[in-house]
Amino acid sequence: MTTSSRRYHITTFGCQMNKADSERMAGILEDMGFEWSEDPNDANVILYNTCTIRDNAEQKVYSYLGRQAKRKHQQPDLTLVVAGCVAQQEGESLLRRVPELDLVMGPQHANRLQDLLQQVFDGNQVVATEPVHIIEDITKPRRDSKVTAWVNVIYGCNERCTYCVVPNVRGVEQSRTPEAIRAEMEEIGRQGYPEVTLLGQNIDAYGRDLPGITPEGRRQNTLTDLLYYVHDVAGIERIRFATSHPRYFTERLIRACAELPKVCEHFHIPFQSGDNKLLKRMSRGYTHEKYRRIIHTIREYMPDAAISADAIVGFPGETEAQFENTLKLVEYIGFDLINTAAYSPRPGTPAALWDEQLSDEVKSDRLQRLNHLVATRAAERSQRYLGRVEEVLVEEQNTKNQAQLMGRTRGNRLTFFEGDISELKGKLVKVKITDCRAFSLTGELVGAPQVLSV
Ligand code: SAH
Ligand code: SF4
Ligand code: F3S
């Protein structure tokens, strides 16, 4: 391969975890001397970082792959890589389905990309899906945003929600050490990123696999301890974390969020269903009453906190009355945002094998009704911002209106206002809110941008 032919392209599907993995893999490729190519057709290493959370996510991957596999017949030096969750789920059978593939690698192998590619360049077709201890990465990620950075704190998931493939494809929980996390955040702070989002599929499980008990007999190295430990990292103005699990969410964590000024008043706590019998069959380990109590406690400490969640409709056996319990919970809480989905049976998960699978018609009818209620309640909640001055972190120009900028409030609400991106990108500004929609706000700049303590 000549130097001029060393161009790579990555397409990322799925969740923030995959986005973070892609940024690290891009960093590795750039270290190896590859250059980013926006157009996959100009690249000679193409990597698809895949998602299998629902069937439609998986099918999308196959249609992308099909196109590039054809191209490989004209351009044999093209290297085709499938990484991420479909790679882990399908393993070698992906090679039977798409023989043109050079490398199939599960999410736990992301940091080994250089090694694995070397094996490919040596003439091998490689499958790396065996469970491994994830090595601490020393390569610098190539971060997509210049404003907000992801930081993994725990990999994997030890829960066994009966609908979910994640534990099968992401492996067992593995926490990074507080020192490694802080070191990464210090680097991010030095590079001028004002915001960090700490990531884990079940971030409340952080530290369960690390040693340490306090003199009072409390487990050390919890997520709460971590927030206190990293809070003073210079340059970082905002800290977020996701995803929270209601089973493990503690009042101590809520208190820390209220106490620590950099931690944003935004909580992403999926409830999945508002029906106790269904929650039990999902193996979620909490009741809707417990969920309501958590939100009450958050609102006691931080009355204005933004609450978002995930919910599934049409789980096997879900009755109309059980679905209505989900609607009741949504009506009652008043979420700022919910990612809703129709249940999709996944290979290797218990619920996929159960009788009582619901028809697509029932699922899509319920999804529509839920989405309608979510939007109505979110629009109501949004009104509280009208006339207020909000702190907004400026991210980008509004792609739909070049005169406007886009940023997020501490509560993670998209906010649009007029301004100059070259002057304001990455700055915290004050915006007076003049118009509120269900999931976004419009406003006007007030005062000068704040000077960050970088
Ligand atoms: N770890 C997080 C979420 C992981 S997956 C949690 O515990 O909540 C992201 C979301 O996808 C889930 O919250 C769930 O709402 C949805 N999801 C997962 N499996 C699904 C399936 N089989 N069908 C439909 N939605 C699913
Ligand atoms: Fe999936 Fe449940 Fe783990 Fe979330 S907590 S990733 S829904 S198994
Ligand atoms: Fe998808 Fe894997 Fe994330 S299945 S949602 S990319 S953990």
Write the pLDDT tens digit of every residue in 265-299: 999 999 999 999 999 999 999 999 999 999 999 99
Q: What is the pTM of this model?
A: 0.95
Residues 204/209/215/217 CA torsion (nearest 10 deg): 70
Say what percent of the chain tops pLDDT 90.
Answer: 90
For helices 16-31 and 113-121, the axis angle rounded to 10 degrees is 60
Report residue 187 as tokens: 């680097």
**pLDDT grade, residue 25 (50/70/90)?**
very high
Q: How far is the CA of 89 from the centre of ligand 3 (A)?
A: 11
**Domains defined along the chain, listed by start:** 3-128 (3.40.50.12160), 148-384 (3.80.30.20), 386-450 (2.40.50.140)
Q: What angle do CA 83, 24, 3 make, to 5 degrees?
A: 85
Average pLDDT on 349-353 reads 98
CA distance linking residue 82 with residue 27, whole number of Å: 17
Q: How far is the CA of 164 from the centre of ligand 1 (A)?
A: 6
Q: How far is the CA of 311 from the centre of ligand 1 (A)?
A: 8
Going by alpha carbons, the residue nearest to atom 7 of ligand 3 is 166
DSSP string, 416-432: EEE--HHHHTT-EEEEE
CA distance linking residue 163 with residue 282, whole number of Å: 7
Is residue 396 within 6 Å of ligand 1 at its C-beta? no
Closest ligand 3 atom, residue 13 Cα? 6
Is residue 310 within 6 Å of ligand 1 at its C-beta? yes
Whose atoms come closest to the Cα of 310: which ligand?
1
* Beta carbons within 10 angstroms of residue 139's beta carbon: 17
Residue 5 has pLDDT above 80, yes or no: no
Closest ligand 1 atom, residue 159 Cα? 7
Q: Report whether 204 contacts 248 (CB < 8 A).
A: yes
Closest ligand 2 atom, residue 283 Cα? 2
Average pLDDT on 114-135 reads 95
Q: What is the pLDDT of residues 134-152, one digit of tens each?
A: 988 767 899 999 999 999 9
Q: How far is the CA of 48 from the centre of ligand 1 (A)?
A: 21
| Pocket probe mutation, ligand 3, options 53, 134, 312, max atoms within 8 Å of Cβ | 53
CA distance linking residue 109 with residue 137, whole number of Å: 11
Which residues, listed in sequence order, are joined to residue 46 by a DSSP beta bridge? 9, 80
Closest ligand 3 atom, residue 15 Cα? 3
Amino acid 4: pLDDT: 53
Q: Report whether 34 contacts 6 (CB < 8 A).
A: yes
Residue type at 414 in one-letter notation: L
Q: Report whether 87 contacts 94 (CB < 8 A).
A: yes
Closest ligand 2 atom, residue 243 Cα? 4
Report residue 2 as tokens: 């000549």
